Structure 1
Amino acid sequence: PRWHLALVARDLTTTFNAWTFKFTEKEKQVLYLTQNDIPVRSTELTSPRLVFGGGYNLKISKTFSLLAEANLDFTFDGKRNTVISSNPISVDPHMGLEASIKDVFFIRAGVTNFQKALSDGDTLNQKKVWIYQPSLGAGVKIKNVVIDYAYANLANQSNPLYTHVFSLKFILVKKEKTTSK
């Protein structure tokens, strides 16, 4: 199909995580010297999230197609630094484009994490600008095995900790029964 629509609900009933930490004296010293807090215990609540997505697949030729997609990430835990920011609902958009060659080779680009931040050149810390996080990726599909690579955090030049994500996917397909006549 050319059009794709999806709705995903995450942590619908809210997820509660709790853990404790135990550090050696040497580890505590490293945390202290690097100006990090020494955690003792922590709890975290993950609020519900709804993701509504859609895409359009444009077949250019028999061997080449483009898939454009957009998602809206709805969170319900108060005002966040997102494009649509309100209390209690915030909305964070994500967009991407995928080029497919023979449904075997894939090249991807996307943008996410739109936020307002203080401008680097503003010494008075009053001017805010929109920032975002672009990403690039590639993939290959050989029969029922897909290998993907994504390179993210490209726009964060002040703290260039890039993210490299590799994934391996197995497509489990139920074989169709053949009947002999």
Structure 2
Amino acid sequence: MSKKLSKWLVAAFALVSSSAAAQVSAPKYSNEFLNIGVGGRALGMGNVQSAIVSDATAGFWNPAGLTKLENKYNLVGMHSELFAGIIKNDYLTFATPLDTASALAISVIRVGVDDIADTRRLISNNVISYDSIQFFSVADYALLVSYARKSNLIRGLRLGGNAKIIYRHIGDFANSWGFGFDAGAQLERNRWKFGLMAKDITTTFNAWSINTEELRDTYNATGNELPKNSVEVTLPRLVLGVGRDFKIGSKFTALVATDLDLTFDGKRNVLVKTGLVSLDPHIGAEIGYGGIVFLRGGLNNLQQFEKLEGGESWKAQPNFGVGVAMKGLTLDLALSKVADNSSVSSVIVSLGYSFDK
């Protein structure tokens, strides 16, 4: 590349960056749909996976775990419903070892609310017309391409990364495209497992496009200012994990693990919160019998609430799960309570199949 061309590219990049800077925002919960989690095993353990994940879902939780795949072809699909079925969370992944030291995975995620009624045209000339009601969806999509490789320098060290493309849409009103990168590592020492997952390490960018013509009449009637096209930035997040497995007799196994989420976008309602970093711990456990049946539990979403009678208290979200694995087929079920004072729970069902031919 010539020096003249390099100078032109640098100048163009600087011009684009300076013109877009005034329209860039970094909201606290940008792309939060990617933090809900996937897989019945993980969600039944309170989203504790960074150090222990070793199946096809590692493409989401920590791509370094893909190097532990035992079969040539690995498929996992999941469906869950949040808030009494209002929100649908769907996930599908395919993973395969490339050789004895590396692996590849492709994952697709969709979180959305469908059949939302658009009643803006319900009343026309003081006449109610139900035929004018239209329906739209609000949905977030993510495509993750994951690669992992065993380290040649340190025994037991595995490294991995994700490239992700994000598409979000709000009916015909707005949509955005985004991209970003994650990096992960796992290390094993005897029965101890350690994990590190760095999400959005370069920050993830979402470029929003607003259909102002679709919104103009409503905003003018309500006296609000029309939104503008903008760029939304997702700041990095670190997940540190540690776990240990145990053998109990000849048939039983046990696994205990914990993850610590570190965010850098200001104070959150978590256990430790400062202006620089917030720390959110969660723990999980799994008991297995004969490698066939598994019982799971976990605690996450530790938050502080104001009591009606005054004062504050801490509450955590309990999670429970069960799994069955036989001849390459795995079925995992999980139940998560989404509100402490409600019987409403989210049900997670995931099915996996691993084979060689």
Q: Please classify the TM superposition score into its range, dividing by the shorter chain length.
A: 0.7 to 0.9
Matched, 1:64 2:252: yes
- Aligned-pair RMSD on alpha carbons? 2.9
The 5 A counterparts of 1:66-85 are 66-85=254-273
CA gap of 1:20–1:118, structure 2 versus 1, over 3 A, is farther
Matched, 1:17 2:206: yes
Give the letter for the 1:88 counterpart. Answer: L
CA distance in 1, matches of 2:355, 2:239: 25
Pick from 74, 82, 98 the counterpart of residue 286 of structure 2: 98
CA distance in 2, matches of 1:172, 1:119: 52
Structure 2 spans left out of the alignment, 5+ residues: 1-189, 219-226
CA distance in 1, matches of 2:241, 2:355: 24
Q: Is the 8 A contact 1:132 1:155 kept in 2?
A: no
Q: Is the 8 A contact 2:286 2:297 kept in 1?
A: yes
User: Cα offset for 1:134?
Assistant: 0.6
CA gap of 1:12–1:171, structure 2 versus 1, over 3 A, is farther
Query: Scaled by the length of structure 1, what TM-score is found?
Result: 0.74
Q: Is the 8 A contact 1:149 1:164 kept in 2?
A: yes
Give the letter for the 1:165 counterpart. Answer: I
Query: In the alignment, which residue of structure 2 is the partner of 1:142?
Result: 326
User: Cα offset for 1:106?
Assistant: 0.7
Higher relative CO (Cα under 8 Å, sequence separation at least 6) belongs to 2
CA gap of 1:172–1:17, structure 2 versus 1, over 3 A, is farther
What's the % identity of the aligned pairs? 39
Query: In the alignment, which residue of structure 2 is the partner of 1:161?
Result: 344
Q: Is the 8 A contact 1:135 1:154 kept in 2?
A: no
CA distance in 1, matches of 2:230, 2:205: 11
CA distance in 2, matches of 1:12, 1:5: 19
Matched, 1:86 2:269: no
User: Larger % of helix: which?
Assistant: 2
Task: Provide runs of 4+ in structure 1 moved above 6 Å.
Answer: 39-43
How many pairs does the alignment contain? Answer: 159
CA gap of 1:80–1:58, structure 2 versus 1, over 3 A, is same
CA distance in 1, matches of 2:282, 2:293: 23
User: Cα offset for 1:166?
Assistant: 1.4
Give the letter for the 2:270 counterpart. Answer: T
CA gap of 1:101–1:129, structure 2 versus 1, over 3 A, is same
CA gap of 1:55–1:171, structure 2 versus 1, over 3 A, is farther
CA gap of 1:42–1:144, structure 2 versus 1, over 3 A, is farther
CA distance in 2, matches of 1:42, 1:171: 43
Query: Scaled by the length of structure 2, what TM-score is found?
Result: 0.40
Query: In the alignment, which residue of structure 1 is the partner of 2:307?
Result: 119
Structure 1 spans left out of the alignment, 5+ residues: 29-38, 176-181
- Worse overlay, 58-67 or 44-53: 44-53
